[in-house]
Amino acid sequence: MTLQEKIRSGKFVVLGEFEPPKGADFSSLSRTPISPEDAWMPSSSGNGERGFKSQFPGRVRVSSKDRIESVFQVCCRDRNRLALQADILSAAALGIKNLMAVPGEDIRFGDHPQARTVNDLDLMGLLEAVQKLQSGKDLSGIELRGSVSFCVGSTLDTGAPGGLLNIELENLKRKADLGVEYVLTTRFLTSGVLNSL
């Protein structure tokens, strides 16, 4: 049963996270046993702590070695709309079926605080781009040679103070309308709440 099927059926899902190495040597992933969770995702895109780590080598290595589903993080902070679309299409070409759209943490708290953030698309714009790619067109309306298909997740900041939490909850409905099937909060993965929207 796929991650998407488990989420849609309301089953309990475990999503793990691993830290890809910073560098070109990914051999440690071959030596490190990965427990059989429902899916794994690297923490590279949303995490500002360590920069310029590609998700693709680790994702392919873990998926092929352990036959574990992976979740591809797409981060608004680091790439413009051209690069985001290229990454999403590349993930689909590699057979990745799960996608997590995140805004990205504040880059000032990472190991490259002098880097410039991109944020060409905000989180809603990124989700709209994913929805459009899944319909078979890019953001310019150009038809693709084959559409992509993902189980799409996103984030929900349950710790947002004051009125910001109300905005988070209002945006949750918009995310569901844009195809988000589950969200990660600071405490747990939530899918049932989206089914009730």
Range of the domain at 80: 3-195
> CATH number for the domain including 44?
3.20.20.220
How would you class 58 by CB atoms within 10 Å of its CB: exposed for 0-12, middle for 13-18, buried for 19 or more?
A: buried
The reported pLDDT for the residue numbered 89 is 95
The per-residue pLDDT for 189 is: 47
Q: How many domains does the chain have?
A: 1
Burial group, residue 40, by CB count within 10 angstroms (0-12, 13-18, 19+): buried
Residues 6+ apart with CB under 8 A from 128: 178
pLDDT for residue 45 = 46
Q: pLDDT tens digits, the chain, 197 residues: what are they?
A: 899 999 999 988 888 777 766 777 767 666 655 555 666 665 544 444 444 445 554 555 555 455 678 899 999 999 999 999 999 999 999 889 999 999 988 888 888 889 889 999 999 999 999 999 999 999 999 999 987 999 999 999 888 887 888 898 899 999 999 999 999 886 544 555 555 45
- Does this model's pTM top 0.85? no
From CA 89, how far away is CA 106, in angstroms rounded? Answer: 26
pLDDT at 12: 86
Residue 48: what pLDDT? 47
Q: Please check whether residue 131 is in contact with residue 179, taking contact to mean a CB–CB distance below 8 angstroms.
A: yes
